[in-house]
């Protein structure tokens, strides 16, 4: 279920995201950022994680540029995070593929992220809530179209999501 859906270049995007995030974030919140910096389009999660860590965010953050959570380590990472925070209110963040007219949308959803779905992988889901940034269109002929995305675009999405989280606490 969508709690918010807003395009990144809308004037009041941060205010819209903050209004929803304030209702989601509580004392048990744990942020889990999914992705890798080996593909620009998939770096959204680790960029957000790094920005939050560098800003002394008030809650635990997993998944950064230095320690990403990606397809090769996601099973162990999720197991470790859930053990460390048995009562965690998990907020997962990831890049996502979508319809061409949805590129640039930031969505806050109730429910988990399904990592790897857009590129045909079945990986464990995570999150009581999730934030996704739609970074490129789904291309059935090229499931790895994440590589056609501009870094400046991903960085702008990451900054908006990070700022919204920081201002929500």
Query: Tens digit of pLDDT for each residue in 11-57?
Result: 999 999 999 999 999 999 999 999 999 989 999 999 999 999 999 89
Domain boundaries, the chain: 2-167
Asked whether the whole model's pTM tops 0.85, one would answer: yes
Across the chain, what does the average pLDDT equal? 92
Element (H, E) at 46: helix 44-54
Q: Which residues pair with 95 in a beta bridge?
A: 133
Rounded average pLDDT over 63-88? 97
Residue 95's pLDDT is 95
CATH number for 2-167 (one of 3.40.1390.10, 3.40.50.1450, 1.10.3720.10, 3.40.50.720): it is: 3.40.50.1450
What is the C-alpha separation between 145 and 159, in angstroms, rounded? Answer: 22
Residue 142's pLDDT is 56
Residue 119's pLDDT is 64
Residue 56's pLDDT is 86
Residue 140 is classified by DSSP as T
Residue 1's pLDDT is 84
Q: How confident is the model at residue 145 (pLDDT cuts 50, 70, 90)?
A: low
Say which residues have a Cβ less than 8 Å from residue 58's Cβ, sequence separation at least 6: 169
User: Regarding predicted confidence, which is higher, 117 or 157?
Assistant: 157
Residue 140's pLDDT is 66
């Amino acid at each position: 279920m969508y709690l918010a859906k807003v395009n990144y270049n809308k004037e009041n995007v941060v205010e819209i995201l903050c209004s929803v995030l304030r209702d989601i974030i509580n004392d048990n919140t744990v942020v889990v950022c999914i992705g890798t910096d080996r593909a620009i389009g998939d770096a959204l999660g680790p960029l957000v994680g790094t920005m939050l860590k560098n800003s002394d965010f008030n809650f635990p953050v997993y998944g950064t540029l230095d320690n990403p959570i990606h397809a090769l380590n996601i099973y162990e990472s999720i197991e470790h995070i859930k053990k460390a925070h048995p009562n965690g209110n998990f907020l997962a963040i990831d890049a996502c593929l979508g319809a061409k007219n949805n590129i640039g949308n930031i969505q806050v959803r109730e429910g988990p992220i399904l990592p790897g779905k857009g590129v045909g992988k079945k990986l464990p889901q995570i999150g009581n809530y999730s934030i996704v940034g739609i970074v490129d269109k789904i291309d059935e002929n090229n499931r790895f179209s994440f590589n056609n995305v501009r870094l400046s675009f991903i960085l702008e999405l990451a900054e908006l999501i990070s700022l919204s989280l920081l201002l929500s606490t």
